[in-house]
Structure 1
Amino acid sequence: MNQIHPLAVVDPEAKLGDNNIIGPFCVIDKNVVMGDNNHLLNNVTIHTGARIGSGNEFFPGASISTKPQDLKFKGEETTCELGDNNSIRENVTISRGTASRGKTVVGSGNLLMENMHIAHDCVIGNGCIIGNSTKFAGEVEVDDFAIISAEVLFHQFIRVGSYVMIQGGSRTSQDIPPYIIAGKEPIRFAGVNLIGLRRRGFSNETIEMIHDTYRTIYAKGIIKDGVAEARLKYPDSKEVEYICSFFENSKRGVIR
């Protein structure tokens, strides 16, 4: 049975699972689908188009599936999809999609800290930690287990690789490849994320292989040549293939 505070407003067309707790002054709009065991503290707004999994916690002021801040948006029916077991802290805003992709996606097990924003059509993976007041412009992609510090600004259309650590206060208009630390001003490659990788169970041999791959790629004047050489060195490594594919598929260029 759901526990809905008498001062909350839940549209009769919203579809709620079981055992959800809806606190005072929360608003759940029509065309919302929510799973089980979610907890909305006070003053949370879930707008139309939200598709929410189970076990999520929403803190006061969170606003989910908001109308996109995109002048090209013409009211088309789009969604904002959240997975399971996310912690959505105070004043987090997440926009729903536009006609470009049709949906904004946030995976499972993420911590989205206070006052951060995810714009329309972004895709955020699983297990990410995103710091206070960090802002994503439209159509940014973040792969799994990224750690992004506070007040980081992301240009639209960029991609962030898995297992990165990004320094607080950074800003980037280029892609950030996996397994690295990115920081300084202007933002650039600052080494392999050794501590983060060890905490995630990467062996010393794999970490050294990742390190050598970046040495190989960045040592070349032409990135394509470095990628080809890295593949020849480590043809059977999924980590190296991920790095090489990331560089090859980058549309905005990769930080150096």
Structure 2
Amino acid sequence: MRATIATWNINSVRLRVELVAAFLEQEAPDVLCLQETKSPVDKIPAERFAELGYSHMAARGEKGYNGVAIISRIPLEPLGHEDFCGKGDARHVAARLPGGVALHNFYVPAGGDEANRDTNPKFAHKLDFVAEMADWGRGLDGPAIAVGDLNIAPLEHDVWSHRQMLKVVSHTPVEVEAFEAARAAGGWGDVTRADISPEEKLYSWWSYRAKDWALADRGRRLDHIWARGGAAAVPGSSRVLKPWRGVEKPSDHVPVIAAFELG
């Protein structure tokens, strides 16, 4: 079967429940992976999503912080989570899709403002988290898809200015090296960039701080879709849905979507 999978850092699922509902109605993905839900699992508005046909969910949550959820209109088999860095925070959840494909939803730490692991514990946490993703990826077996807000823009055209961003957290060389090591360790392919040329500027996040985000267009591609082990993405199906940044009370991220043949 063919299924579309979307990923979106929603920046509070309860605050933006109707925005999520509008997205589900308009874009109708089969599966939506949310990050930064900022909600305990029992407070996620699952009934609202079920009204729209999305009656399956696997989630982890915290009050006011982090949080990841997979909501789906096709059956899911929850697969639990990994506790990266042993902090107990809600940054990973997994489920098995029809056809046996494992789906992993990640929210990688942002890393704070200073790109120095010795003086910034948040940056150290980020680097350690991504290193553990590499170790975890080496042990994977079988087809899998990984999505989420990975908080790293690895390529030159994943940021508005490669030169000016080299010392800014999310695009520093040490982060990019760790990101690519984790991707290689798991045998992951970058689904979005397989469809959209690396020479094309492509962003999924624009800061709230900009007076006119669209005019400034100083974005970063922080949200990713990866696939491995025979999980077959449909060529040409990738989209980054920039218009969702321009809606009323938006998230600072936009949805990223791709289709897969699940077998």
Output the TM-score relative to the length of structure 1.
0.27
Say which structure is richer in helix: 2
* Larger RCO of the pair (alpha carbons < 8 Å, separation 6+): 2
Q: Over alpha carbons, which structure has the higher Rg?
A: 1
